[in-house]
Structure 1
Amino acid sequence: MGVPGATRPTAVRGDSGRLRPLGSAVVVIGVIAVAVTVAWYVMPKATPDDQPAPAAAVPSVTVEPAITREVTRTVVYELTGGDLAHNLTYVANGGDLEQQAEVHLPWSVTVQRRVPAEQPVFSSLVAQSAGALLCRIRVDGHVVAEKSVAGEGRQLSCSA
């Protein structure tokens, strides 16, 4: 038995026995030519006479600042109980914190706070005592917070 010999397909064999090209180069050149032609017709053509379209005018918008009406609130802090209160802290005029190391009871202070009309005023009082403590916060005459504690070294926190 022998090894079969390699034979070339007869469809691609030329006169001299060599293989001839199948025309793949011609096909690639044809595809490129078609692509260039399609692009030539599809893409817009610019001429020197063409002017770019003028940009649309954007209207200017003026934003007016919001007008916030402010009011002055009267806040009264009251602290009652034994003889003394220690480490008293409260929100004073302008929203600043005011601190006093020791005050004699009963104790009271009135502060003025300027706030937007639609916003409640934040008020807070913190103190310690050796006995019972009662705090009350009034805003414009209305009681907005009231709290009490009893016992040695207790801390009272009252806020609205």
Structure 2
Amino acid sequence: MGVVPAVDSRNGRGPDSGTTVLIAALGVMLAVGLVTLLVAGQRSAGGPAPSPSGMTGAPVVAAPVAQAVAHTVTYELGGGQTALDITYVAQGSAIAQVARADTPWTMIVERHDPAGGALYVSVSARNSGSGPLHCRVRVDGTTVAEGTVAEPGGMVRCSKSLS
């Protein structure tokens, strides 16, 4: 048996690092070219397009977006002369406040809530003490809550959760 002599790359004989890099680059280009040909062939054959991860399968369908339902909510305070610390549910279930208002007081809020969700409406106020204070909440013209407080400094609240 013969012995293969060692090759010294410093003297110009045998592969050097430049040749190794060139062979590796050609291998990568060959692999990319094969994948491109396979994908192009699959698309022209009418098969499903590959996903970004290279997997094929059923197309992804976005989930339906819940439609918004518009409601007109009317908050009313009446009786007495002044309502204090008025708190009500505004757009997007945000809480809004008014420190003091003469009666009659009305606030109309256009609400846009997800279809099928619960609609919570509420108004509350403190009686300034000059007679009974009444509250009423209407949703799309229909009265859904009413209340009265007679005591000076007493709180009146009208609230309702609708589904």
Q: Report the TM range for the smaller structure's normalisation.
A: 0.5 to 0.7
In the aligned structure 2, how far is the partner of 1:120 from the partner of 1:80? 27
- Output the amino acid matched with 1:136: R
2:69 matched to 1:91? no
Equivalent residue letter for 1:121: L
Structure 2 stretches of 5 or more lacking a match? 1-54
Q: Deviations over 1:52-75 (max 9, x none)?
A: xxxxx9956735323311111100
Q: Which residue number corresponds to residue 137 of structure 1? A: 137
- Contact 2:92–2:113 at 8 Å: present in 1 too? no
Conserved? CA contact 1:135–1:148, under 8 Å: yes
Q: Which amino acid aligns with 1:84?
A: T
Residue 65 of structure 2 corresponds to which residue in structure 1? 67
Please tell me the residue identity of whatever aligns with 1:89. T
**Superposed displacement of residue 117, structure 1:** 2.2
Q: Is the 8 A contact 1:73 1:121 kept in 2?
A: no
State the one-letter code of the partner of 1:101.
Answer: A
Shift of 1:100: 1.1
Give matches, 1:54-133, under 5 Å: 59=57, 62=60, 64-129=62-127, 130=129, 131-133=131-133
**2:146 matched to 1:146?**
yes
Q: Percent identity?
A: 39
User: Which secondary structure does the structure 2 equivalent of 1:68 belong to?
Assistant: coil
Residues 113 and 121 of structure 1 are in contact (CA less than 8 Å); yes or no, is this contact kept in structure 2? no
Deviation at 1:136, TM superposition (A): 0.6
More helix per residue: 2
Residues 75-98 of structure 1: CA distance to partner in whole angstroms, max 9, x if unpaired?
Answer: 000111100011011112332221
Structure 1 stretch displaced more, 61-70 or 89-98:
61-70
**Secondary structure of the residue that 2:120 maps to in structure 1?**
coil
Residue-pair matches, total: 104
The AA in structure 2 aligned to 1:125 is V
Q: Secondary structure at the match of 2:119?
A: coil
Q: Secondary structure at the match of 1:67?
A: coil
Q: Distance in 2 between matches of 1:119 and 1:147?
A: 25
Give the drift of 1:119: 2.3
Indicate the larger mover: 69-78 or 86-95.
86-95
Instruction: Tell me, yes or no, if the aligned pair for 1:128 and 1:156 is still in contact at 8 Å.
Output: yes
Q: Note if contact 1:71-1:115 (Cα within 8 Å) is conserved in structure 2.
A: yes
Structure number with greater Rg is 1
Task: Indicate the SS of the match to 1:123.
Answer: strand
Distance 1:104 1:71 in 2: 32
- The amino acid of 1:127's aligned partner reads A
Secondary structure of residue in 2 paired with 1:86? strand
